[in-house]
Structure 1
Amino acid sequence: MRIKNVLANKNVMLRLGVTLLLILVFRIASFIPIPLFNVELFQGQAQWGAGFLGILNSYTGQALSRFSVLSLGISPYITASIAIQLLQMIIPQMKEWQEEGEVGKAKTSRATRWLALFLGLAQALLLILGTGVRGSQIQVGVDSGFFTYLYMALAVTAGTAFAIWIADTITAKGIGNGSSILIGIGVLTSIPVMIGTLSDKYLGTDNAWDVVIYVLILVLYVAILLGVVYMNIAKRKIPISYANRQGGAVRTDSNIPLKINSAGVLPVIFASTLLSVPLSIIGFLESSIDANTQSWIRSIFSYNEPIGFILYVILIVVFSFFYTFMMTNPHKIADNLSKSNAYIPGVRPGDDTKNYIARILFKVTVVGTVYLVVLAALPIITAWVFGFAGQEAANITLGGTGLLIVVGVAADTTSQLEAQANQETYQGLF
């Protein structure tokens, strides 16, 4: 019946068509190489590994490994959005934007876009300058001066601006959140790469145990996927009652739903991004840093090492609690309940309600944080158990943030699709 409602709704079908068309355009553009860049030389040599660059390559649908103009994808915009949210908690003037309605949203959106373009240009320069020996990135016969590098970086930045436009258009005239959909599509394209890598590793031999391991890995992947789906919809509901001031009646059919994983994938992205900064720096300055210092830095900041993994877990825990309590404010919830003449049964309004919600939110966040840590650690653990290393570990990811993103995007897009299909009144697309 739900599919029938979607197919019968011309407005929804048109929006779905716009979404699919823009995704197709985005995927085609991801194969356009960076101008003047010696792509053929580096495609065969680049090893992205399972670190931050490997994650970024997955999010962009392997556009980074192809050195495409969409090598950075929508990631600078996501980083800028997170940075603006944090700045709005610190800078009073930016905090006022949240209370200015549509005008404030326009200011926030404009600031986010400008910051995204600045970050995109900085990351593009680092990407191009850090790919190898100076001058080897440039095609033969082209001057390797500063303006050539700047030109290539501007081309990648333009790709990011194009990705932002695609995402905004999907959000406005398509189905779902455009930014999330582009990242989700990028992650989905890594699944065939994973299957192909597994097939080459286990199905090209005469050993029967390799086939068993191959099937076991696929079953484990499906089991992890089902677990992520369950945790994505899991909620802790706090029952609330409404008192009718006129008749004195009490209604108790409502609740406050608190998601088990309220922070989503952001804590993992934050943690991996912070750990990647020193690793990226020593990668770019490899020739000027001695081997012992490089080894020491990698042992601390690489989450494939014991110390780095502990630091990785600590950062996920800190960011998970920080972001959850930033997005879900117990004081605001208690205040809104009081204004709506609602209360939690057995709990006094005011500070008692605020403290009660804070305690429940803390317990829920503990469970969600443990879930995030396990999910983030699964690719590392499975790579160690099955002996994946190097590019294999980057291609074969059992668990991790990718599944969390795909499941979240699929659930959000499906709910929006159903909501629009079930509307009784419709408006034109344009």
Structure 2
Amino acid sequence: MLGAFANAFRTPDLRRKLLFVLLIITVFRLGSQVPAPGVNVANVQSCLDDVQNQGVYSLINLFSGGALLQLTIFALGIMPYITASIILQLLVVVIPRLEALKKEGQSGQTKITQYTRYLTLGLALLQATGIVALARSGNLLQGCEESLLHDDGTSTFLVMVITMTAGTAVIMWLGELITEHGIGNGMSLLIFTQVIATFPASMWQVQKSQGWWVFGIVMLIGLVIIAAVIFIEQAQRRIPVQYARRMVGRKMFGGSSTYIPLKVNQAGIIPVIFASSLLYLPAMAVQFNANSGSAWVSWVNRYFVSGTHPIYMATFFLLIVFFTYFYVSITFNPTEVADNMKKYGGFIPGIRAGKPTEDYLSYVLSRITLPGSLYLGLISLIPLIALVLINANQNFPFGGTSILIMVGVALDTVKQVESQLQQRNYEGFLR
């Protein structure tokens, strides 16, 4: 492994790309530590020391690398872009104009990317407004009685909102720079950076609260979880496809064999984000009505805020299973795949082209999605179970969204480095 890294840095263009990625990540992390104008840094740090990060913004704070609760210029992190990308993926299915753009190829994808940027800025503006409003009212950090801002005036409010929105635009630009001039997908690497930024603190919190023995056991369990996640993320069902030979003029085309890879986790981490966001809505509504004292506020506080109640866990698990099936159904269209195969003379051995192929693909996809959805649900419940068993932080590092992002992005980046190393006859990372 060390030799492979040495070979990667001995290649001039690959070394330049890797150093460029490291430079952008450094700038990104520095921006995540610079407070927004008007923030009382001393009071914020004092409140962070007293308040555990178990609020309704834990998911957004995870994607911001802890920058959200510190109210920095990159407080929103990559979350607005993730939300905008998911929304555009869903709209492509229901809006014919966007579906036509997707089929146009590179030019259409460029327009969809531009729409994603505009939607990202709109969502960032809304999120920044809500977060600054909570900070000004004192509800951002539950249990904190100190003022988080130097001034509660409208001018400070507007400056902070504009600064955080501009920070999101800068993050998008940095991600595109990595994609264009570096290695791997820029946005994915920035998400990876923000997630691992909170990893050491979460692990050290386990050691401080539970001691070295529990810390060691957690590390061993974490290694097992990582190995299991890698195994499932790499698992796929390969459906063989044979293309018939055909004459075009005087040349013979076709006759090749390939396969359709159907991953066990076809949906990635999207169902976890959907389910988490949906469960945060009642908790967020309660936070805005914390002093109302109504029955529904106490009911939500009892079952859907702490995350330790069995009803919360069961609801979270069932939502993940539902959204896994939902997202796979809109991202993989068996009808479209079957029509394209028939158009180019492809067929699955033993299955007739057309409707039988569509039915077969739907059958296989529904069967393989079941273990994938159960896997996502179980992995996502690990932080909640750890919260009950060892009183760990709700952002427990070995499980949930964090471990899925870390393993997924790391595997993808290693594969891309490996492919470039293989072009230069190096042994590379993977064997």
**TM-score in same-fold range (> 0.5):** yes
Q: What is residue 45 of structure 1 aligned with on the other side?
A: 47
Query: Is the 8 Å Cα contact of residues 168 and 178 (structure 1) preserved in structure 2?
Result: yes
Q: What is residue 231 of structure 1 aligned with on the other side?
A: 232
CA distance in 1, matches of 2:379, 2:224: 12
Pick from 363, 366, 370: which aligns with 1:366? Answer: 370
SS in 1 for 2:15: helix
Amino acid at match of 1:27: R
Give yes or no for the alignment of 1:397 onto 2:400.
no
Query: Is the 8 Å Cα contact of residues 242 and 250 (structure 1) preserved in structure 2?
Result: yes
Q: How many residues align?
A: 410
Q: What is residue 138 of structure 1 aligned with on the other side?
A: 149
Question: Tell me, which stretches of 5 or more residues in structure 2 are unaligned?
Answer: 139-145, 425-431
CA deviation after TM superposition for structure 1 residue 395, in Å:
4.8
Give yes or no for the alignment of 1:265 onto 2:269.
yes
Q: What is residue 427 of structure 2 aligned with on the other side?
A: none
CA distance in 1, matches of 2:332, 2:345: 20
Q: What is residue 26 of structure 2 aligned with on the other side?
A: 24
TM-score of the pair, normalised by structure 2: 0.88
SS in 2 for 1:65: helix
SS in 2 for 1:236: strand
Q: What is residue 406 of structure 2 aligned with on the other side?
A: 406
CA distance in 2, matches of 1:198, 1:353: 51
SS in 2 for 1:64: helix
Give yes or no for the alignment of 1:176 onto 2:180.
no
Alpha-carbon deviations, 1:136-177, whole Å to 9, x = none? 3321xx4x2323211111111111111111111111111111
CA distance in 2, matches of 1:271, 1:364: 20
Does 127-136 or 403-412 show the bigger shift?
Answer: 127-136
Q: What is residue 74 of structure 1 aligned with on the other side?
A: 78
CA distance in 2, matches of 1:104, 1:147: 40
CA distance in 2, matches of 1:361, 1:291: 45
Q: What is residue 158 of structure 2 aligned with on the other side?
A: 150
CA deviation after TM superposition for structure 1 residue 239, in Å:
1.8
Alpha-carbon deviations, 1:38-65, whole Å to 9, x = none? 2322332243534552222222221123
Describe how 1:4-403 pairs up with structure 2 within 5 A. Answer: 6-46=8-48, 47=51, 49-50=53-54, 52-131=56-135, 133=137, 136-139=147-150, 142=151, 144-203=152-211, 211-245=212-246, 253-287=257-291, 289-290=292-293, 292-302=295-305, 303-386=307-390, 388=391, 392-403=392-403
CA distance in 2, matches of 1:249, 1:145: 71
SS in 1 for 2:393: helix
SS in 1 for 2:243: strand
CA deviation after TM superposition for structure 1 residue 277, in Å:
1.9
The CA RMSD over aligned residues, in Å, is 2.4
- Identity of paired residues, percent? 35
TM-score of the pair, normalised by structure 1: 0.89
Alpha-carbon deviations, 1:237-288, whole Å to 9, x = none? 112223323699996752211110010001000111111122112213323x
CA deviation after TM superposition for structure 1 residue 99, in Å:
2.4
Amino acid at match of 1:25: V
Question: CA distance change for structure 1 residues 73 and 249 in 2, over 3 Å: closer, same or farther?
Answer: closer
Amino acid at match of 1:158: A
Amino acid at match of 1:242: Y
Question: Tell me, which stretches of 5 or more residues in structure 1 are unaligned?
Answer: 204-210, 425-430
